[in-house]
């Protein structure tokens, strides 16, 4: 019998399946102003969406902090005891948001956690600014608590390999992992790569056309090979040109197009999709994420009410067919 959790409470239909809390944002006693790392990007995304009149506070779902009992669904007690709780409260709240958004995605057809995507963390090991395995947790909560959800696909499009969830789901046939990443950068986890069912390794400086073509073709094949009950989309923006850690050269427009094609391909199959925002901390990142969400809305790929959306919006291909 699953434990009692605050994260799976009923959400009124009047609220959009967009999950956020002001507690997501991290402050280092003012030091964040001196560093290119944008520790308040999540709040800025919401501010941009409010400015564009897409959302208001009353339309958002307030994320709750994941409790120790919630985290123990995946993590070991020993690992949790090693972490300092106070400093990590924002990350625990973002983790709770991902778990909440998983349930909402199944109920509404889609959901976006404006934070989360800690894909380097596994059950007993953190890494790369990732303290909690929110993607693994969201999927395991769904498997345990939601009837009809027994197969999941992770589409990890952050610039870095998602070695945390790969280690957690190693050998688990219910979970199919597609990972598209710069082959030359952190973490280079050869053991974890064994869990990737569709691996797309990129070179330094990969640009829009090559990238979008590879994402679309491989996503179509992934969904054919393993038809899932839910897709978790790790939508990292560290693929953006100028990101020194990501090492790729995708334009802001390329990122918006990427998110559009993932939502179009997944939703055309009537599969629920949960998006998390993951890595990418340049000063312009928040604006790009907001623009992407606005684009999804303008195309009818996300709507407040919808498990069912018009087929007309979904069935047209985003990219021209590949030339033989």
Alpha-carbon distances of 79 from 47, 48, 140, 241, rounded to whole Å: 35, 37, 18, 35
Query: What is the DSSP secondary-structure string of 127-185?
Result: BTTB-S-HHHHHHHHHHHHSTT---EEEEE-SSS--HHHHHHTTT-TTEEEEEEEETTS
> Of the listed 75, 119, 120, 160, which one is catalytic?
120
And the tokens for 176?
């199919």
Alpha-carbon distances of 142 from 38, 59, 88, 130, 317, rounded to whole Å: 31, 24, 24, 21, 30
And the tokens for 289?
């994420």
The question of whether 120 is a catalytic residue gets the answer yes
| Of 127, 76, 119, nearest in space to 232 by CA | 119
* Contact by Cβ (8 Å): 132, 66: yes
And the tokens for 65?
């902090």
User: Which residues are tagged catalytic?
Assistant: 120
């Amino acid at each position: 019998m699953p434990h009692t959790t605050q994260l799976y409470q009923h959400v009124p239909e009047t609220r959009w399946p967009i999950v956020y809390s002001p507690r997501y944002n991290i402050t280092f006693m003012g030091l964040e102003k001196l560093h290119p790392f944008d520790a308040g990007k999540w709040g800025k995304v919401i501010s941009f969406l409010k400015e564009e009149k897409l959302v208001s506070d009353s339309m958002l779902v307030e994320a709750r902090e994941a409790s120790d009992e919630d985290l123990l669904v995946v993590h070991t007690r020993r690992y949790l005891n090693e972490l300092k709780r106070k400093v990590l409260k924002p990350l625990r709240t973002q983790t709770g948001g991902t778990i909440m958004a998983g349930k909402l995605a199944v109920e509404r057809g889609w959901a976006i956690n404006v934070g989360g995507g800690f894909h380097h963390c596994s059950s007993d090991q953190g890494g790369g600014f990732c303290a909690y395995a929110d993607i693994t947790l969201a999927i395991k909560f769904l498997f345990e608590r939601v009837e009809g959800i027994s197969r999941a696909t992770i589409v990890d499009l952050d610039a870095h390999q998602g070695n945390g969830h790969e280690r957690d789901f190693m050998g688990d046939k219910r979970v199919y992992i597609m990972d598209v990443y710069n082959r030359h950068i952190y973490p280079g986890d050869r053991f974890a790569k064994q869990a990737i069912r569709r691996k797309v390794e990129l070179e330094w400086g990969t640009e829009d056309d090559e990238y979008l073509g590879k994402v679309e073709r491989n996503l179509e094949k992934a969904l054919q090979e393993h038809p899932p009950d839910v897709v978790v989309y790790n939508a990292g923006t560290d693929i953006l040109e100028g990101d020194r850690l990501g090492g790729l050269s995708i334009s802001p427009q390329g990122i918006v197009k990427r998110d559009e094609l993932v939502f179009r391909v997944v939703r055309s199959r009537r599969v629920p999709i949960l998006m998390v925002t993951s890595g990418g901390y340049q000063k312009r990142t928040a604006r790009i994420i907001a623009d992407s969400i606005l684009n999804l809305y303008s195309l009818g790929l996300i709507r407040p009410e919808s498990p069912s959306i018009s087929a007309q919006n979904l069935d047209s291909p985003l990219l021209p067919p590949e030339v033989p």
